[in-house]
Amino acid sequence: MTATYIKNSFQTLWMVWEDFFDVLTKYRSESVRRYGICKLVIRKHQGKPIECYDGQRIDKGEWIGELHLDNRQVLQMVRTLGSDRAGLRIARMFRKAVEQITLDMIGQPELQKIKALTGITLLHRGIIHGMGFEQHPIKARFQRSFFKLYLRLLLRTMHPEGNRRIQAGSEKLSPVMLIISQASLKERAADQAACITGQEAVS
């Protein structure tokens, strides 16, 4: 009972931090959009250029879209569904959000200027499987250490078995940058549309 109370207290405090972080995010970005379980932060890339595997290059000052999971929704699903079922639903909702963002990139001027979607995460394999995201190491030592500490604390707070997962797979829980260029997103969307059209023609 005491452990559960402490866990819930930490989760409540984390949600207060999330609200504060949302306010900070609005000041460091051009805009923030919500797509289901995702928050899309539209801002200019800072730091060194990023070379995507598909040949696209993201230079300093060019527009990117940072993907952030809405941890309030994540926490609610974990509490009501359990971690396994919540994980499956989060993956489906994430996929749907990225699909909608891709459509808006085609039709809305504000999103057409975004060269890539990015995100920093520890737990990425189940969520992004088959979506075309590239995985890039975080090279700057300070950034790598900061994100490692921050994301592990988030895992401990949000996941019912966060402590055990960190202890069991500590060497695997290193932060990575996920990135997919706008060109790759549109290419995958076109391929999916062609596949659906072909299936409808056959049926």
Nearest to 125 by CA among 157, 87, 170: 87
Q: With CA atoms as reference, report the closest residue to 99 among 202, 196, 198, 199.
A: 196
pLDDT score, position 43? 93
Q: What is the pLDDT of residue 188?
A: 84
Cβ atoms of residues 111 and 101 within 8 Å? yes
pTM: 0.79
Q: Is the dihedral of CA 174, 124, 75, 36 positive or negative?
A: positive
| Tens digit of each residue's pLDDT (9 = 90 or more) over 67-116 | 988 888 888 888 788 877 888 888 899 999 999 999 999 888 889 999 99
User: In this prediction, what percent of the chain has a pLDDT beyond 90?
Assistant: 26
What is the Rg, in whole angstroms, of the alpha carbon atoms belonging to the chain? 18
pLDDT one-digit tens code per residue, 148-194: 776 777 766 666 554 555 545 554 567 788 999 999 998 887 767 66
- What lies within 8 Å, CB to CB, of 143 at 6+ separation is none
SS3 4: helix
The pairing of beta strand 57-58 with beta strand 50-51: antiparallel
pLDDT tens by residue, 9-34: 767 776 776 777 778 777 788 889 99
